[in-house]
Structures are given as structure tokens and as C-alpha cells.
Amino acid sequence: MNKQLKVLFIGTYVPKECGIATFTYDLLNSVSGVHDDIHCEVIALNDPSETYDYPEEVVFQIERNKLEDYHRAADFINQSDADVVCLQHEFGLFWGNAGDYIFTVLSGINKPVITTLHTVIRDPLPEYRASTEKLIQYSEKLVVMSQTAVDMLKEVYNVPDEKIEVIFHGLPDYPFNNCGKYKRMLNLKGSPLVLTFGLLSQNKGIESMLEALPGVVDQYPDLIYLILGATHPVVKKHSGEAYRDYLKKRVSELGLERNVVFHDKFVEKEELCKYILASDIYASPYLSREQIVSGALTYAIGMGKAIVSTPYWYAEEMLSDNRGMLVDFGDTDGFKDSLLYLIKNPDECNNMRKKAYDFGRKMTWKNIGKEYNNVFSKALKDYNAYPRIRNRFSFLPDQLPEVKLDYLKLLTDDVGIIQHTNLGVPARHHGYSTDDVGRGLVALIQLIDSQEKAEELWKLITTYMSFLEHAQTVSGHFHNFMNYRREFLDEEGSEDTLGRAIYGLGYVVSCPYMSKNIRTLAHTLISKSKSQMEKLNYPRAKAYTMCGLYEMLRAGVDADDFEATFVSRRDAVRSVDSLVGKETFESIFASHADSLVNLYESNHKEGWNWFEPTVTYSNAKLSESLILAYNYTKDRTYRKVGLATLDFLTDIQWKGDFFDIVGNQGWYSCDGEKPIFDQQPIEAGYLTQAYISAYKTVRERKYLELARYSFEYFLGRNRLRTPMYDPVTGAVCDGLNCDGMNCNQGAESVICYLMALNSLNKYADRVYGTVFQPAASDEVLPKRKSLLSANQSE
């Protein structure tokens, strides 16, 4: 049995009052009416704040000025079971420069795209040329409605023949009729009745017809010229009814009040067809030659109307072979003479009508639907046989960047790290923070693999240690924010601040290449904070603290006397039960790990394997802390929860070839929609560290691969395919917004980048030693359910 073909259309859609909305509706129905095994759906484009009661086939909506909607549309398409996407393209439909918002969709989907071009520009401005060329690149097939459009695509844009399909504009199938029946039906007068219809705008050229009419009505005073259609909504929004008012004034000046009728309304297709069938002559006095298609002219041809038109591109082609009469642009005498000829020569007029009608039979929607279905099937077959493997991240390097500390040094003065910059220049008025200094110590200690390296980084590490020693309060907590005048701005920082300070200090204590004095000071500061660590409430503060304590504990340091307990790990690991009445760093570490497990047990449910009802910030650090807890204690519960939650973070953020980090515009609740922006690079950095910890623990290659891809988020493997890291300066942008990168390049971002790079660097030969190109999430990871089953079975 043949598989059902599923087509997803993108365009405006009824009940929106515009020509492309009607076209999309007619095309969908013609396609779905060809065979029972064709299913069609629509992604509809709306103007800002516009709402419609759409029919059921509309499955997604884009507010065309909201870039985030385009991103979500791409995600929707990839997750749908659509076989092909049929895009209705007109530059003005989409927001951005020359309508370039649409490329957010096209560049992000993995389905063949068939694009119907409603406009092709012969002499495009640079932005329109660039937009057209990108459209050609992303389209499997280009459908145009005239040979003129084919010639332009080939001559102006170098499109190969095999990529272009000519399918005429569709039209309803009516029998060849005389006009009297429909005039009576609509209670219309006019002998003859001349019609122009469509959304009213200045390019319609109706004034040319008005200027021509006096010489015609002198001989045929019963002639009626019916101008049917509402003012184009965009024109009305910006200019009101100025053009219509001008036309009415001109009617009065020419004394044509009895002969010209305005019907100011948007008529549905069925009623429109009756108006066309009722008319004797159809006038199409467009002012611009660059008209590649006209639905109005198509309908008039297919219903066998006598036609007078200016020679725009579409009219020249469609009215050739005596299917209509052409008049130069603005040639009022030409319109007058043509109208008089048609009225005075009914036999020639009738022959012209019949030729137009016969030509129109090939353009009925039934035939158009068959032609589109043939194109869809062929495009899908070609796409599946020769998939266009677009490596959207081909610009990425095939090796890790070198560690570059220039920017970190630029931000560091003799006090600490300046938090933020103004276009890469340290912004002193933002001052310093303990948060950055604590994590900065982690990044620096990670780099030390020899005494020589320790000496190279000694000054920076000493500066950061000096800041933390100064920032610690009498209670053992830490101030967080200091202004440029070296004044602390808070009585104490948040619990996270405490955790981040312990995180960095733990790394210092564990480093065998650091001087004994600096390690002793770090241990002293940690010991002074013990009472504060014991009463932590917030999960991320506990996770940071655990990461710092883990480094210290694995080095064999626990008790308050640093010199007495800096022994081998085997001698240092002792039972908590043997230390009755005395909280050790080890017992605090275990207590925090247990509390995270309890938090997970309280909040996880089917499809939501997380510690809280909302995924917020510093997420992977929670998972990593439990993986480290397993490494130290060998308690399998910690490993199970640590890996389950890390796999959950992968599941909700890995898109198959890039990470789509949870944005901080409202965060991600279990019963809500995941925000796309603003994405913070710290999350990618922490994911990289967590994946490396997972790999070291369970030795599954997928974690090493995911570590590479989460790190490459900084290099451009992200939704916008834009590098956040500047290899020249070593700076890192602070966020990924819907309109591009956050231009601030602060301390947090570069530090998290360095931590991620340092973690991955140890496995660079394994990561880049084999070629791995992700194609779909399932090829990198098993389903979430199977991951959990594997963990729980242990």
C-alpha cells in the first residue's frame, strides 16, 4: 500500500483577507482532493496582534514580526510527520530585511521544501538578491507560474532547469457562459459591464481607466465600470483611504458618477466568481511591468472574459495568441480604443473570450493539484534518494581551540575580576563579584599540570585568593559584590555565592602544585565556612559546595587540621559514624547529596526527571555534583539520579545537531513551554563539565560526544549558528537572544568557557580522533525511557 503523503503549507490562510491566503486555501484543497491518501496542514502567518478563527487544518501560527515564532515553527516542523513543506513566498509576508525571518525556519528544518514564488525580481536590490539566493539554496524545487519567471530565475539567479517547475495559478472550473444570468443574480447593471477587482492600491492603475471612460460612455452611456475590492490592509494602515478618495474625486471631475461604481468590500471566492461571470470585460490596468503573476487576471482568463490589460510580464505571456488586448502603461487612448473595439465587434470579442477560456482549462485547480502532487512526490523521492546533507555547522574547527587567558587577564586588576564590559572594555562601574572569583579559581587550577604552570598562574591565583580572603565575613559567609572603590555592597551574598567560593577554594586545596601556604589558606577559609555550609537550603548552593568539597576530599583532606590530615586518600576516608558529635566535610558532602536525591524523589514524575518543577539556571551542576558524590562514596543511588537528571537535560536541550539551551525568559516548567531565549553560555559550560564527569564515571562514549557538542555551543553550534567565542581576544558573549548575541562579554561567560575547554582538553584526542557527525538525536542517545530503565536496573 502507498504511504499517505503529508504536506505542510506555510503561508497566509483564510479567513485572512489577502490573495495569498486564498491561494493557499485553494491549493491545499486541490492537492488534498486529488487522492484520499494525501493529508494537508497549514502553518499560518499573522500580522502583529492579529487573531483568526482558523479551520482545523491550521496546526501552527506565526506572528510574523516575532522571530521566536519562526524558531518554534522550525521545531514544530521537525517534530511533525510532514513529508514535504510547501512554502508560499512573497517578500512582504515575512518580517526582517527582505523577509529574511523565514530563513530561521528554512535553515532549521530537515524536510524537503517546495517553494511557490509569487514574486521574482529582475533587477533586485542587494538585500532582495541575497534573500532570493538563500531561498533558492533552501528549496528542493521552485514553482513559478509563468515562463517569464523561469527565464528570470535562470538568467538573473543562475537556477538550474531541474530545480524549476512551471505550474500555472489555479482557477475554479466554470462552464463558458453569457453574462446575463449572473447580472440578474447580483442585481447588476451595465451594458457593457466592465470589471476591475482585487485589493485596492495605487499600483492598480485604475486612474488610467477612469481617464479613458469619457470617450467610451459618450457612445455607450449605459456602460458601468465596477471597481470591486476593499483597500489593501497595509495601504489602509499607512495611508487610510487616500487613494480611493482620490479616485472618487476624479470620477466626479470627469462626470462619471453614473458610470463608475465602487464596491468597497472583500468578497469571498464564490461571490467573486459570480461578479467575474457577470462582467463583459475585465480591465487590468496595472502600472508596473514587474508583475510576475496575477490571480485576478488568471480568474478572468479561466472564466472566458474579454480582457484589456497593460503589458506587465504575466499579462504579456497569458494574453498572447489573441487571448486579450494589451495597452501601454498609462495609455488612456489605448484603453478607450480597446474598449470600443470589443464593444463594437462582438464576434471578435467572443472569439477572444473563447480562446482565453480554452487556455484556462489547463489551469483549473483540479489539474493544478495533480501537478503539485507530482512535484511533491518527485521532490520527496529525490530527497530520500539523495539527501541534501547540509552540515549547518561545517564552519566549526576540527580541533579544540588553544587555551587563551588574554581576556581573563584583561578583566583582572590588582583587586579581582571586573564583572562586565562595554563592548569588550572592562566596565569599572560594575565592580567585582565573589561569584566570578570563585569560578575563576576553578578555571585556573584546572590548567595546572606542572610546577612550571603553577608558577605561570601564581599571580592570578594569588589575586583571587586575596579577594576571597577579604570577602569572607566573620560568620564564614562571603560578601558578593564590591564596587570599584573597594567597598562591599552587601552584608553577605546569596547561598550560591558561598557555594561558588567553596567550589574554587576546594580546587586550590586539591592542587599538589600550589604552594603549601596558599593551600593552607584555602583550607582555612573553607573551615571557617563550615557552619554556613551545614545550613544551606538551596540546591545549587549545595551542588557548588559539593563540587568544591569533592576536590578536597578526593585529595584526602577532611578534618580541620589541614597539615595533620593531608595524607593519602586511603587513610583519610573514614566512617562518619566514628566521628560522633562532629560534622566533617565528608558528612556535609553526604548530607547535601542526600538532600538532592530527596528533592529529586519529591519532584520527578513520568517525563520529568528533575529536582524541581522548573528547570532554571546552573542546571548541569546539580547532576554533576551527584555523579561526583557517587565517585567518592560509591553509592549507586547518587549515580542513578545524577545520570537520570543529566540525560533529562540532554533530552530537553539536544536538537540532534546542536544544543538549544533553556532560556531564562520565564525558565522551563514541567507544565509549560520551553523558552528559547535568552540562553546563557554558562549552561553550555556546565553541561560540558557534567558530561566529562559522567564519561569518567561510566565510560560511555555518548557523554564524550555530547561534551564536545555542548562545548561547541560557544563556537557556533547553537540555534543561531553564531560563534560566541572570539578567538582573537578570547572573549565570550554573555547570551543568545532572538536577534543575535548579547554584546556584553563579561567575566562569567569567559570563565565558564575556560572551565569547559579545560575539562574537554584532557580527552581531545578521543573526541577529535574519530569522525562523528550527528544526524538525529536518536542516533546519539537512546530514548529517555530506556536511559532511565538502564539506570534503575542497576
**Stretch among 382-386, 640-644, 729-733 having the lowest mean pLDDT:** 382-386
**Stretch among 706-710, 766-770, 772-776 having the lowest mean pLDDT:** 772-776
What is the arithmetic mean of pLDDT over 387-407? 83
Check residue 365 and give its pLDDT: 94
Check residue 40 and give its pLDDT: 96
Check residue 290 and give its pLDDT: 82
Nearest 5°: the CA angle 165, 171, 174 is 140
Confidence of residue 500 (pLDDT cuts 50, 70, 90): very high
Q: How does pLDDT run across 277-317, given as a tens digit for each residue? A: 999 999 999 998 888 889 889 999 999 999 999 999 999 99
Say how many C-beta atoms besides its own lie within 10 A of residue 481's C-beta.
18
Confidence of residue 559 (pLDDT cuts 50, 70, 90): low
- With a cut of 50, say whether residue 231 has pLDDT above it: yes
Q: Terminus-to-terminus CA distance in the chain, angstroms?
A: 44
Q: Which tops the pLDDT comparison, 418 or 562? A: 418
Separation of alpha carbons 147 and 320, rounded Å: 12
Q: How does pLDDT run across 4-47, given as a tens digit for each residue? A: 899 999 999 999 988 899 999 999 999 998 777 899 999 999 99
Cβ–Cβ under 8 Å, residues 18 and 34: no
Check residue 593 and give its pLDDT: 98
What is the arithmetic mean of pLDDT over 156-176? 94
Q: How does pLDDT run across 562-590, given as a tens digit for each residue? A: 554 443 333 333 333 333 335 799 999 99
Separation of alpha carbons 676 and 69, rounded Å: 10
Percent of the chain topping pLDDT 90: 76
Separation of alpha carbons 205 and 294, rounded Å: 14
What is the arithmetic mean of pLDDT over 258-264? 94
The distance from CA 302 to its chain's CA centroid, rounded to whole angstroms, is 41
Q: How does pLDDT run across 664-707, given as a tens digit for each residue? A: 888 999 988 889 888 999 999 999 999 999 999 999 999 999 99
C-alpha R_g of the chain: 35
- With a cut of 90, say whether residue 152 has pLDDT above it: yes
Confidence of residue 421 (pLDDT cuts 50, 70, 90): very high
Check residue 511 and give its pLDDT: 96
User: Which of 721, 717, 712, 714 has the alpha carbon at shortest distance from 767?
Assistant: 712
Check residue 522 and give its pLDDT: 97
Q: How does pLDDT run across 110-130, given as a tens digit for each residue? A: 899 999 999 999 999 999 999
Check residue 3 and give its pLDDT: 64
What is the arithmetic mean of pLDDT over 171-182? 87
Q: How does pLDDT run across 91-106, given as a tens digit for each residue? A: 999 999 999 999 999 9
Check residue 94 and give its pLDDT: 95
Separation of alpha carbons 248 and 15, rounded Å: 29
Check residue 329 and give its pLDDT: 95
Domains of the chain: 5-170+367-385 (3.40.50.2000), 180-361 (3.40.50.2000), 404-603 (no CATH), 617-794 (1.50.10.20)
Check residue 395 and give its pLDDT: 85
Separation of alpha carbons 252 and 216, rounded Å: 16
Check residue 783 and give its pLDDT: 36
Confidence of residue 715 (pLDDT cuts 50, 70, 90): very high
Q: How does pLDDT run across 502-557, given as a tens digit for each residue? A: 999 999 999 999 999 999 999 999 999 999 999 999 999 999 999 999 999 998 88
Cβ–Cβ under 8 Å, residues 459 and 409: no
Q: How does pLDDT run across 46-69, given as a tens digit for each residue? A: 998 888 999 999 999 999 999 989
- Write down the pTM of the prediction: 0.74
Q: What is the DSSP string of 692-736?
A: HHHHHHH--HHHHHHHHHHHTTTTT-STT----B-TTT--B-S-E
User: Which of 656, 607, 651 has the alpha carbon at shortest distance from 74?
Assistant: 656
Q: Phi, psi (5° rounding) for residue 116?
A: -90, 120
**Stretch among 144-153, 156-165, 304-313, 664-673 having the lowest mean pLDDT:** 664-673
Q: How does pLDDT run across 215-229, given as a tens digit for each residue? A: 999 999 999 999 999
Mean pLDDT taken over the chain: 90
What is the arithmetic mean of pLDDT over 401-428? 95
